[in-house]
Each structure stands twice: as C-alpha cells, then as structure tokens.
C-alpha cells in the first residue's frame, strides 16, 4: 500500500511539472511573426515585480529516508541487547512544510521553512517503529530565466535545526538499550532543492520540487547500540504560495 501511495505522489509531482511546462507554451505569438512589415512591439509585462513582498505557502508530498539508518552497534552487549537488530529499511510516508518567504529580488527569495515528515521502519521491532524529522531551516532560492516568464526553474540551499526521533510502536521516543538515552535529538543539517515555479496570478504561485536533506547526527558515544550515524532523506513535493505587500497601509476610511 505504501509503495502505491508513493508511486502515486511521484506521478502527481511529475504531472504537476508537466502541467507547468505546458502552461508556459500558451503565451500568444508576437504580432511581428504574423506580419513581418509591422513595427516591433514592446515586450508584454505579464505581472508586476514582487520585490519587497512577503509570502506564505504550503508544500506537501512524500518523504524517503536514505542509507543505513541503524548504524553499527559498537558494543557486543549492545548488539545482543535486542534481537533482531538489523540494518533497517523504510516505507515512504507523507511530508508537509509551512513556508514563509521574502522576495529580495526578482530572482532571489529568502525562505524560512518549518515542517514534518516520517517513514515507517520495517524491522519488525516494536521499539523501532517509526522515524520522523522536524526541520526548521533558513535558506535562499534562485530562479532561472527571465522574471516575466510564467514558468521558471529554480535551485536553492539552506540549513538549520532538524529534530529527529526514532519512535516506538506507541509513538513515544525509543531508548538506546545500553545508555537508556532517548533516540531523539536536535542536530544541525542542510538541504539542496531544485524545482519549478509557475505564476498563477500576481499574488499566487504553484511549485514542484525535489529536495535532499542531510542531518549531521553522528553520535556513537550516546547511542552505542545503533541509529548513531548521519541521516538523510529526499522529498518530492507540490506547493502553493500566496504573496502580500509588507509596506501598503491599510485603508481605514479616515479623513486625511
């Protein structure tokens, strides 16, 4: 079931990118193409600049943790403390992010993201049931091509704090069987993203992106039994953003 859900979300992401690309080709041809003798026309301004505007948005999709999440037990007693203790595999699940942005230039957006995502661990161990991540990051995004295009690809990067947790089956934080430390930490991390954005109106844009996240969580001393390495995951997301002026005064209807 999880694989079908993940495949469906990835297909939805690809459909979104294809739809955005198709929408880019709907701009009407220049009048010069129809009549070579006609004087050249000025380039049409599609939307006004949003420089200085703020934005709020949401991105949702699927998340998949990568690599060996369990790490390697460093202590023979730790290795034998739980059976089985295996290199785990995961089932993809959902992810969602709340986004606050500031349009610094027509090409550069500054972004604050707060999100949540999780995967189901497939170790058949009630003490190691789910892994989750709560990222709180600051970053920047650079849009390519001209600012008057409906569809613009972009790349971005950033970093911040990631709160990761290994949950038990009752969704509490698991514990290392040797140190009895909870398998929950806030560690630094970073991300890289690439995607495309389509301007739906002056105030609304739609996005599709793939994002790689890396959590610098290696700590063999605190978690000798495992789950002690760096962690990474990828996200496939669709999103929508709403922009608003940060400088316009509200009309209160009072006489000047």
Q: What is the DSSP letter of 175?
A: B
Task: Report the pLDDT value the prediction gives residue 55, as an integer from 0 to 100.
Answer: 96
Q: Are 116 and 137 in contact (CB under 8 A)?
A: no
Nearest C-alpha neighbor of 209 from the set 118, 141, 146:
141
Within the chain, what is the greatest distance between any pair of CA atoms?
Answer: 86
Q: Kindly give, in sequence order, each residue whose CB lies less than 8 Å from that of residue 86, ignoring residues fewer than 6 positions away.
A: 70, 123
Q: List the chain domain ranges.
A: 2-25+52-245
66-113 pLDDT tens trace: 876 766 666 566 556 554 445 568 889 999 999 999 999 999 999 999
How many other C-beta atoms are found inside a 10 Å radius of the C-beta of residue 40? Answer: 8
Express each pLDDT in 162-195 by its tens digit.
999 999 988 889 888 888 999 999 999 999 999 9
Identify the top-confidence range among 5-14, 28-37, 149-158: 149-158
- For the entire predicted model, the pTM comes to 0.76
Q: Decide which of 2.40.160.20, 2.40.340.10, 3.40.50.300, 3.30.1330.40 is the CATH code for 2-25+52-245.
A: 2.40.160.20
Predicted local confidence at residue 38, as pLDDT: 56
Place of tokens 């957006």: 109
The beta-strand segments (E) located in 11-129 are 53-66, 90-91, 93-103, 108-121
By residue count, the chain amounts to 256
């Amino acid at each position: 079931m999880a694989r079908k859900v993940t495949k469906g979300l990835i297909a939805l992401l690809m459909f979104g990118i294809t739809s955005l690309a198709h929408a880019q080709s709907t701009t009407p041809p220049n009048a010069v193409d129809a009549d070579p003798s006609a004087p050249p026309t000025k380039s049409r301004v599609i939307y006004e600049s949003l420089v200085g505007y703020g934005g709020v948005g949401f991105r949702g999709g699927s998340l998949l943790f990568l690599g060996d999440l369990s790490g390697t037990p460093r202590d023979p007693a730790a290795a034998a403390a739980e059976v089985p203790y295996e290199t785990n595999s995961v089932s993809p699940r959902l992810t969602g992010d709340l986004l606050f942005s500031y349009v610094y230039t027509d090409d550069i957006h500054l972004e604050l993201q707060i999100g949540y995502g999780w995967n189901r661990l497939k170790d058949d161990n009630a003490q190691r049931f789910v892994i989750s991540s709560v990222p709180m990051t600051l970053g920047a995004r650079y849009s390519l091509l001209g600012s008057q295009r409906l569809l613009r690809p972009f790349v971005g990067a950033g970093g911040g704090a990631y709160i990761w947790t290994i949950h038990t089956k009752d969704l509490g934080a698991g514990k290392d069987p040797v140190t009895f430390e909870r398998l929950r930490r806030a560690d630094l991390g970073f991300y890289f993203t690439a995607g495309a954005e389509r301007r739906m109106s002056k105030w609304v844009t739609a996005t599709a992106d793939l994002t790689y996240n890396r959590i610098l969580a290696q700590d063999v001393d605190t978690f000798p039994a495992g789950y002690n390495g760096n962690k990474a995951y990828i996200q496939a997301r669709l999103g929508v953003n709403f922009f608003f002026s940060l400088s316009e005064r509200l009309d209160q209807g009072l006489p000047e």
